Structure 1
Amino acid sequence: MNGTPETTPPSFIPSGAPRRRSTPSQASAQPQSFQPRRSTPKRAESPAAEGAVPPSFSPVAASRRAEPRSSSGSGNRMADRSQKTAVNGESAPFISRRESRLRPFTPEPYHPADRGIRERHGNDARNMQRTVRPQLHGIGHGRTRAMGAHRIRHRALTVLAALLVVILVAMIGLVNWVNGQLTHKDMLSSMANTPASTWLILGSDERDGTAGTGTEQDVPGSRTDSILVLTRPKSGSSSLISIPRDSYVTVDGQDMKINAVATMSGYKALVEQVEGITGMKIDHVVQIGFGGVEKVVDAIGGVELCYDSTVNDANSGLVWEAGCHQADGGTALAFSRMRYSDPTGDIGRAARQRQVIAAVAKKASSPAVLTNPATVSKLMKAGLSSLTVDEKTGAFDLIGMALAFKAATGTKGVTGSVYYTNTDYYPKSGIGSTVLLNESKNTELFSQLEDGTHDPGTVGGM
């Protein structure tokens, strides 16, 4: 128009053809986009000739034209850009070249589980991480919780270990204190050891200043008025057996009652006499002063005792009405020593002594006593102040004795006295009335007690 050469507007020129300015000589020429292309051997069948979409408008053709541009990384990036299909058939997000230049490259954080994914899926592993990553994060959180629980357990074990150390130190201190309170004396014999654990329990007035009181003037000085053998076998029932104080024995050819042996010949001689009766090695000897019995009973608040007869005994000081009563320390001591008002004499007294011991053991091991620190302290001081033990006995041996006491005086224990044939036997030596023991029955009895084969219950007598 107005003499201006007619040219095809640039906006109508297909993108596949180069845009050139028109010249006057080309004004009447046919538009370049409609000029036939030169045929080449490789493009013999042109899509344009068949009426297909011109190459400039074909995405495939565009990508093919981009391939020979360069063999460097830019060509590969264009190829990656044209791939729109990701793993699982989903479309991958399209990122323009401009966005790829502006967005800094951030590598995926490495996770140990990624290694297996990369090995299985190769180049597609990076795309698969987008779906797997939430699961990997879950695993990490689980490991964090596990580590937290491990730290809590570790701290709890540390606190528990520290507490156990404190308890152990306290126990060691207590054991050392108990050992320091004990009075030791050489008492054990040289007899070979036997399987069961044995304690010889002696009740004496040696340390309470009452020796020779009353009408019992047959032995000068202190007397061993209570003799008990406590046995704990390796298996079976524990036992607590009394030996009557007037039992007839012979020491170095001299006749005497067994309660006089310690005073006349020493404690080793007394231990040897008991070993001869029982056939067992005595492992520990514990001598209890009668004054200590009174202190121990008072320390635990008294014990309940039962006796079926009414008694008013001047020798022991026992005043008792038939039945069961709560006894304090003084009454329990008189209850243990009374024998002249008992029709069975020394046999009945031994039975009452075992009753007092059982009552003390039961009360001392009760929760009401063990959970009261003040009561436990009084009990320990009262008991330890009145004890004399052999040269080897210590705190742990006393604990074992207490446990054996409780077992022997329980429903599964064996209690009673040795067997005897005569309770009023008079030897020719003129030592007065004695108890004549049954040697054969006692040998059989203690053999069963040592093996733990004897049935629970009461034993001894005629």
Structure 2
Amino acid sequence: MNADLQETGTAKRRGWFGRRAGWQKALIVLSVLLVFLIGGLTAGGYVLVSHYENQVDRAALLPSAPAGEAARSKQNWESGALNLLLLGSDSRATEPGGSSPIGERSDTIMLVHIARDRSRATIISIPRDSYVEVPAGGSWKGGKNKINAAYAFGGAALTATTVRELTGVPLDGAMIANFASIHDLVDAVDGVNVCVPYDVKSTFSDREWKRGCHDMDGAIAEEFMRQRYNVPGGDFGRIRNQQLVVKAVIAKVAANKLLFKPLRLDELLGIAADSLTVDQSLNLRDLVLAVRDIRPADITFATVPYTRADLRTAAGSAVQLDTRAAAEMFAAVRNDTIDQWLAAHPDGTVDDEGE
């Protein structure tokens, strides 16, 4: 391709991506992980990943880990379960790894667990308004706040520390979606078919999605995922809608074997390279090897259990996590038994035995 034309195309992509919202950026990260890397890349695809690894932005997204934990993480990449933090940031004005001015918050927070045997992955969404203990950082002296405030006070590093203390799960890597759009991703795969388990009426147009399956291009998928008022569960319904679209993208890529078509793969990876900021220590080629045998059917989505979404706090209306159920879920992640836990607790609740 002519270098000037290639540069022009890249500039247009970056300009478009720069206007996307934080939750859309998080989706591109998740999609990059599950779509671009999962499914058994051909040798040519692996070369492309290696090429684009040098084009993604790098930043110190994770705080310094104690020597023992760093050694365990290195071992995890070789033979243990892996846990990655995925963030979507509201801000485009500051470095993702550094401190952010007050008001710029992480719109989406996800924990990705890759099983020790590399056969499956679990994506756990942490509600952005979860009322949790946020450690001291930046101008914040520490205390209870919404979890997405951690990014405002101390960037990705403080968010990672907050997630680490909330879950007890050591983090082996981190990524932020930067200048990206699920809109572009859906169009890049020529649209998706999304199966919706409930009725959703748009608050932005007269469009309505009845329970059932719907073909969506990028613009329609974007509108669908922005819904939070006429969808069951409000913000939690929006999380569900996001997951439905990501699943549809994964299914489309797998069905059309796009990972095995060099020109299409190159286009998708180009979107990814423009989208991602990854932790300075994360090796994307190692990540490819870790997830290459996982298939779409082996990916599970979940949300941290909660008891109420209208908790009155000094930080405003917040989400009260279900302390006991969440603790059990996080323990299952640490023990690499999260699939079994989710199967035993499909509604995210636990029995109140002994109470």
TM-score normalised by the chain length of structure 2: 0.69
* Higher relative contact order (Cα pairs below 8 Å, separated by 6+ residues): 2
User: Does residue 451 of structure 1 match 2:335?
Assistant: yes
Which one of the candidate residues 187, 208, 213 is aligned to 1:320?
Answer: 208
**Which residue of the partner structure matches residue 223 of structure 1?**
105
Q: State the AA in 2 paired with 1:244.
A: P
User: Take 1:440 and 1:287, find their aligned partners in 2: how far apart are those partners?
Assistant: 29
Shift of 1:290: 6.9
Aligned to 2:241, the other structure's residue is in SS state: helix
Aligned to 1:433, the other structure's residue is in SS state: strand
Shift of 1:358: 2.0
Does the C-alpha gap of structure 1 residues 232 and 205 become closer, same or farther in structure 2, counting only changes over 3 Å? same
CA contact (8 A) 2:49 2:269 kept: no
What are the Cα deviations for residues 342-377 of structure 1, in whole angstroms up to 9, with x where unaligned?
A: 241121111222222222223233344133322212
**Which residue of the partner structure matches residue 234 of structure 2?**
345
Which one of the candidate residues 316, 324, 337 is aligned to 1:440?
Answer: 324
Which one of the candidate residues 123, 144, 150 is aligned to 1:255?
Answer: 144
Does the C-alpha gap of structure 1 residues 389 and 436 become closer, same or farther in structure 2, counting only changes over 3 Å? same
Q: State the AA in 1 paired with 2:207.
A: V
Which one of the candidate residues 177, 180, 192 is aligned to 2:51?
Answer: 177
Shift of 1:321: 2.3
Q: State the AA in 1 paired with 2:110.
A: L
**Which residue of the partner structure matches residue 241 of structure 1?**
124
User: Does residue 418 of structure 1 match 2:300?
Assistant: no
User: Take 2:174 and 2:201, find their aligned partners in 1: how far apart are those partners?
Assistant: 33
User: Take 1:460 and 1:277, find their aligned partners in 2: how far apart are those partners?
Assistant: 21
CA contact (8 A) 2:200 2:230 kept: no
Instruction: Determine what percentage of the aligned residue pairs are the same residue.
Output: 30
What are the Cα deviations for residues 37-76 of structure 1, in whole angstroms up to 9, with x where unaligned?
A: xxxxxxxxxxxxxxxxxxxxxxxxxxxxxxxxxxxxxxxx
Does the C-alpha gap of structure 1 residues 238 and 450 become closer, same or farther in structure 2, counting only changes over 3 Å? farther
Does the C-alpha gap of structure 1 residues 329 and 171 become closer, same or farther in structure 2, counting only changes over 3 Å? closer
Does the C-alpha gap of structure 1 residues 199 and 326 become closer, same or farther in structure 2, counting only changes over 3 Å? same
Does the C-alpha gap of structure 1 residues 320 and 293 become closer, same or farther in structure 2, counting only changes over 3 Å? same
Shift of 1:425: 0.6
**Which residue of the partner structure matches residue 245 of structure 2?**
356
Does the C-alpha gap of structure 1 residues 333 and 264 become closer, same or farther in structure 2, counting only changes over 3 Å? farther
What are the Cα deviations for residues 243-275 of structure 1, in whole angstroms up to 9, with x where unaligned?
A: 111111232324332223212222111011111
Q: State the AA in 1 paired with 2:145.
A: M
Shift of 1:400: 5.0
Q: State the AA in 1 paired with 2:306.
A: Y
TM-score normalised by the chain length of structure 1: 0.54
Does the C-alpha gap of structure 1 residues 424 and 223 become closer, same or farther in structure 2, counting only changes over 3 Å? same
User: Does residue 284 of structure 1 match 2:284?
Assistant: no
**Which residue of the partner structure matches residue 203 of structure 1?**
88
What are the Cα deviations for residues 436-456 of structure 1, in whole angstroms up to 9, with x where unaligned?
A: 112332222122233333426
**Which residue of the partner structure matches residue 161 of structure 2?**
272
User: Take 1:310 and 1:342, find their aligned partners in 2: how far apart are those partners?
Assistant: 5
Shift of 1:397: 4.1
**Which residue of the partner structure matches residue 376 of structure 1?**
265
Unpaired runs of at least 5, structure 1:
1-166, 210-218
Does the C-alpha gap of structure 1 residues 349 and 338 become closer, same or farther in structure 2, counting only changes over 3 Å? same
User: Take 2:203 and 2:291, find their aligned partners in 1: how far apart are those partners?
Assistant: 31
Aligned to 1:291, the other structure's residue is in SS state: coil
CA contact (8 A) 1:238 1:452 kept: no
**Which residue of the partner structure matches residue 39 of structure 2?**
none
